[in-house]
Amino acid sequence: MSLTSSSIIPSKSLIPSNKPHHPCFFTTKPSRSILHISAVHSADPSKSPPPIKTPAATSSKAATVAPTTNVGTGKWTVESWKSKKALQLPEYPNKEDLDSVLKTLDAFPPIVFAGEARNLEERLAEAAMGNAFLLQGGDCAESFKEFNANNIRDTFRILLQMGAVLMFGGQMPVIKVGRMAGQFAKPRSDPLEEKNGVKLPSYRGDNVNGDAFDEKSRIPDPQRMIRAYCQSAATLNLLRAFATGGYAAMQRVTQWNLDFTEHSEQGDRYRELAHRVDEALGFMAAAGLTVDHPIMTTTEFWTSHECLLLPYEQSLTRLDSTSGLYYDCSAHFLWAGERTRQLDGAHVEFLRGIANPLGIKVSDKMDPNELVKLIEILNPQNKPGRITIITRMGAENMRVKLPHLIRAVRRAGQIVTWVSDPMHGNTIKAPCGLKTRPFDSIRLWSVMRLSRNIGSGNFGVAKLVRDKWTKELFAVKFIERGQQVLLTPTHLAIVMEYAAGGELFERICNAGRFSEDEVK
C-alpha cells in the first residue's frame, strides 16, 4: 500500500490565468466512436469553460512560458498518441481479440464522472496556492487475487485516519485521493525476466498478464482489461458507499484500530489524539454543528492511477457535454510515470489532451529545463490544480536536486502542487530479505525546511506505505526512547498517527524553526 501526501506551495506571487484550460483542438474524428456523456454530473453550467478557441485566438497572457519546441503543439485526438513512440506497452499476440475488447470498453459506462474530476482540480488548485493538503494512498499495484471488501475498507480507513490527523494538526483541509480502483499496470525496467536460465516476458500488472513464472501466464491477455474495469468499478462503488454512508464519520476516529493499540505506548498517544478530536467535536456540537450534519458524516474521496496502458485509457475517454472537453473516465487523477514522461512520447501526447488533473513523476534524473517544457505541454494555460509534481529521488538526492527543479518552475511562473515520494530512492534490504525504508529517510520536516529555504512554502510527503500490508513485513526504523521497533504493516497506521499526533507533526507544522543539524 502507498500513502501520498502532497505539498502545499503558496504561489501568491504567481498570477493564475483567468481562462479555463483547453487541452486539445479537434479537426478530425477518431476512427473509433467517442461516447458523448450528458447529464452525468451536477456541474453548474455557468461555471463551464467557454467554447474551445484556436491557438491563435488564445491570449499570450494565458501561458507564462513561451513554448520552446513544437512538441505537443499539433492537433490532438484520442488516437493521436499512436503516432508517437509508446514505451512500456505490451505486445498482444491476437490483434482481433484486442480490438474486440477495446470496442467492448468503448461501450461501457464511465467509471468516474467529468464533474468529479473538475471538482478535484479545484481542490488541488487550493493545495497549489497553499490552502489545502493532498493525501494519496494505495497499493503499489492492485491485484485480482487480493480483491475483497476488507482490503478496500482497510486502505480507505488508513486514509481517513491520516486525513483526520493532518487536518486536526494542520488546521487545513485535506484532499484524500486513493491510489486504487485502477492502479494495476506496472512499468518495467526490462521487458524480460530471467529465472534459472529461463527468460519470459516481465510481469506488467494483472490487467496485462499473470505474475506466475510460466509461459502461459506471461502472455499479454486483453481480456484482463475487462476484469480490471469490473474490479475498478466495484472498488469505486464500495468506496462511494464508505465515503457517504456513515463509515467516514469524524466521531469514528476514536474507534479505529483500538484493538491494535490496546497494550502499547503508541496506543496511549493515539488515544490521547483521539480524545483531543473528541473534545473538538464536543465544542462543535455545542455550537450547533452536530455529528448528524452531512459535513461530519461524509467525506470527499477521489481515485488515481498511473496512465500506462494507453489502449485501455483511450477506450474510457469520453467527451463531456457540459464543458466540451475530453476526460479519461477511468480515474479522477492520472500521472505520467518516470519511464513514460518523454516530451515527444505517446503518454505525454495522450495526457495533454484530457482535462483530468495530472501528475508528473520526477526523479533525480530530471533536467529542470525539461520539467518546465513538460509542464508547458501539459498545462499551456497555467491553470492551478492541473499539474502535480511528484518527486521520487531519495533523501540525499532530494537535498541536492530538488531546489534546482523548484527554482526552474518558479522562474517560469508555473503554478504546480509539489509532492514528495519518500518510498522511492530510500529502499534498503532488511536482514529478513524484504525491502524496507528507514524512518529517518522518509521524514517530512527536512523536505519542508528545504522548500521553505528557497521560497516554496510547505512541502508534503508522498507514498508513506507501499508494501502489500496483508503479506509482508514493513520494517520501519521507529526510534522511541532509544529502542528500534520493527512494525508490521497492520500497525503502520498507528505509527503514523502516533508520530503525527506528537513530536513529528509539531515539527511538520513548524518546519522553518529547526537548525540545519536537526534537519539533517
Provide the pairing of β-strand 36-37 with 133-138.
unpaired
Rank 136-140, 289-293, 490-494 by mean pLDDT and report only the highest. 136-140
Q: Burial, 211: exposed, middle or buried (Cβ in 10 Å; 0-12, 13-18, 19+)?
A: middle
Report the phi/psi class of residue 185: left, alpha or beta, with left for phi > 0 and alpha for psi in -120 to 50: beta
Report the candidate in 488, 427, 468 with the shortest Cα–Cα distance to residue 211: 468
The whole-model pTM stands at 0.75
Largest CA distance in the chain: 70
**Rounded (10°) CA dihedral 497, 498, 500, 506:** 160
Average pLDDT estimate for 476-484: 32
Model confidence band, residue 466 (pLDDT cutoffs 50, 70, 90): very low
The pLDDT tens digits of the residues spanning 498-515 come to 344 444 434 433 433 334
More confident residue, 49 or 85: 85
pLDDT of res. 262: 62
More confident residue, 452 or 213: 213
Query: If you average pLDDT over every residue of the chain, what do you get?
Result: 75
Average pLDDT estimate for 205-212: 97
Q: What percent of the chain has pLDDT over 70?
A: 64
Average pLDDT estimate for 185-200: 94
Q: Which residues are annotated as a binding site for phosphoenolpyruvate?
A: 179, 338-339, 361, 392
Residue 392 has pLDDT above 70, yes or no: yes
pLDDT of res. 437: 66
Model confidence band, residue 454 (pLDDT cutoffs 50, 70, 90): low
pLDDT of res. 240: 96
Average pLDDT estimate for 66-73: 50
More confident residue, 207 or 513: 207
Q: Which residues are annotated as a binding site for ATP?
A: 477
pLDDT of res. 381: 96
Residue 368 has pLDDT above 70, yes or no: yes
H helix intervals, 245-367: 258-261, 265-286, 294-297, 310-315, 346-351
Q: Which residues are annotated as a binding site for Mn(2+)?
A: 140, 424
Provide the pairing of β-strand 483-485 with 478-480.
antiparallel
Residue 143 has pLDDT above 80, yes or no: yes
pLDDT of res. 253: 64
More confident residue, 324 or 480: 324
pLDDT of res. 425: 66
Q: Which residues are annotated as a binding site?
A: 140, 179, 338-339, 361, 392, 424, 477
Average pLDDT estimate for 269-298: 77
The pLDDT tens digits of the residues spanning 218-242 come to 999 999 999 999 999 999 999 999 9
The pLDDT tens digits of the residues spanning 249-272 come to 877 765 665 555 566 666 676 677
Model confidence band, residue 426 (pLDDT cutoffs 50, 70, 90): low
pLDDT of res. 424: 66
C-alpha cell at 361: 513523476
Pick from 294-298, 480-484, 500-504: least confident: 480-484
Residue 447 has pLDDT above 90, yes or no: no
Distance of alpha carbon 144 from alpha carbon 506, whole angstroms: 40
Residue 436 has pLDDT above 60, yes or no: yes
